[in-house]
């Protein structure tokens, strides 16, 4: 496990025209399945970690998909189809994407709502429950031998050959605009959190920890919080086995580098070997801390959320969903991060927000780790 404070940090640099944040939230509110996801305060958990408070933005029930990914997939497909109509062009014959599970199900759901077929490329070793959830949305789940990055390549090749439109959250050469729209879609969860904090008169967080993956969620956090007058510190957590963001920021020139590991973490949604080129500029200028953790911390975080201390809510989190809290636990308890917690000045006054990005998308694994089945 290791950490790097960003030597390229320039949170006020590279400012672009603000994305249509009001339009994003307005669109999501127009969906029949929409409702704001909860923001939980967990003071008991905070006390056990020696902190002032811990907030958990709980995405485990978003749109009935058990993950936050529907925010990005629905907005990106909506915007793409609007552009087709404005240009007088027909919609694509089908859409496609690569996934470790959650994004693929979200694209399948968004495509079904739009009346489009979808093919989702997913590593063959993925949890059967995640594969079946994609098929349950009416999509074709194309199993790919290898890693998520292999699925990305296969998706690009077959989509180009068949004329399908890729709706991906990772940007690569000649494919950048839709991943930026996906990240824009995630802004809704941060806007909801701000509103919920204000409504409860809770203090704003001093530190926000987001999951790594290809970097889209972290890019959305950078774009959201750089508009705050009092910007919190932003940290990105990754598995040690899939640390492409950490490898990239640790490189001499701060350019994208592949992960060192085998992308075999139990945090399946974060098993990404390559950085999204669409997300990286925002991360390079706007994330304070990059760090990697072992899987054992994700398991501990799942148990702490689901079986809380007295007074805290019970929260269902999958392995990737619990990664934000897992990172926080590692930061405050493990000797490998002593320098990081000292520089962040974590104390009994510090308020931290983490995001539970998914519920129990693999019920068998959840039962094994948490000791009992997920919530109904």
* Closest to 275 (Cα-Cα) out of 302, 308, 248: 248
Q: Alpha helices, DSSP H only, in the chain?
A: 21-30, 43-48, 70-86, 102-114, 128-136, 148-162, 177-185, 187-200, 216-225, 244-250, 280-286, 295-306, 323-333, 338-344, 363-370
Maximal C-alpha separation, the chain: 59
Backbone angles phi, psi at 366, to 5 degrees: -60, -45
Verify whether residue 150 is a known catalytic residue.
no
Instruction: Give the number of other Cβ atoms within 10 Å of residue 147's Cβ.
Output: 21
How would you classify the pairing of strands 233-239 and 289-293? parallel
Nearest alpha carbon to residue 290 among 226, 356, 238, 325: 238
CA angle (351, 221, 337) in 5-degree steps:
50
Label the pairing between strands 2-5 and 351-356. unpaired
Three-state DSSP class for residue 207: strand
Given 57, 58, 66, 69, which residue is catalytic? 69
- Give bridge partners of residue 96 from the DSSP assignment: 119, 166
Of 272, 265, 321, 256, nearest to 293 by C-alpha is 265
Could you confirm whether 100 is annotated as catalytic? yes
Helix (H, G, I), strand (E, B) or coil at 343: helix
CA 160 to chain CA mean position, Å? 27
- Distance, in Å, from the CA atom of 181 to the CA atom of 169, rounded to the nearest integer, reads 8
Catalytic residue among 58, 100, 288, 362: 100
Q: 227: which residues sit within 8 A by CB, 6+ positions away?
A: 18
Q: Which residues are catalytic?
A: 69, 100
């Amino acid at each position: 496990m290791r950490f790097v404070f960003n030597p390229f940090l320039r949170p006020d640099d590279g400012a672009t025209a603000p994305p249509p944040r009001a339009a994003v939230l307005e669109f999501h509110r127009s969906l029949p399945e929409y409702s704001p996801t909860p923001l939980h305060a967990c003071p008991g958990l905070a006390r056990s970690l020696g902190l002032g408070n811990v907030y958990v933005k709980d995405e485990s029930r978003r749109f009935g998909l058990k993950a936050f990914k529907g925010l990005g997939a629905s907005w990106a497909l909506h915007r793409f189809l609007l552009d087709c109509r404005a240009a007088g062009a027909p919609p694509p014959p089908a859409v496609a994407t690569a996934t470790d599970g959650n994004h693929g199900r979200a694209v399948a759901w968004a495509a079904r709502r739009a009346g489009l077929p979808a093919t989702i490329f997913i590593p063959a070793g993925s949890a059967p429950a995640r594969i079946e959830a994609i098929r349950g949305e009416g999509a074709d789940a194309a199993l790919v031998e290898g890693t998520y990055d292999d699925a990305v390549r296969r998706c690009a090749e077959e989509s180009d050959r068949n004329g399908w439109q890729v709706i991906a959250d990772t940007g690569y050469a000649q494919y950048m605009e839709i991943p930026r729209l996906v990240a824009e879609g995630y802004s809704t969860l941060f806007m909801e959190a701000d509103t919920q904090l204000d409504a409860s008169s809770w203090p704003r967080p001093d530190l926000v920890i987001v999951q790594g993956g290809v970097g889209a969620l972290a890019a959305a956090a950078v774009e959201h919080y750089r508009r705050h007058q009092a910007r919190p510190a932003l940290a990105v957590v990754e598995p040690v086995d899939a640390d492409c963001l950490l490898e990239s920021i640790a490189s001499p020139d701060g350019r994208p580098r592949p992960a060192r590991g085998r992308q075999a973490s139990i945090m399946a949604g974060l098993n990404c070997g390559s950085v999204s080129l669409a997300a990286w500029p925002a991360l390079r200028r706007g994330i304070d801390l990059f760090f990697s953790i072992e899987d054992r911390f994700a398991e501990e975080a799942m148990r702490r959320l689901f079986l809380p201390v007295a007074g805290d809510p019970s929260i269902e989190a999958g392995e990737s969903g619990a990664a934000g809290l897992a990172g926080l636990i590692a930061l405050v308890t493990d000797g490998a991060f002593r320098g990081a917690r000292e520089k962040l000045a974590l104390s009994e006054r510090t308020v931290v927000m983490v995001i539970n990005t998914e519920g129990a998308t693999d019920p068998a694994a959840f039962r094994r780790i948490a000791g009992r089945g997920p919530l109904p």
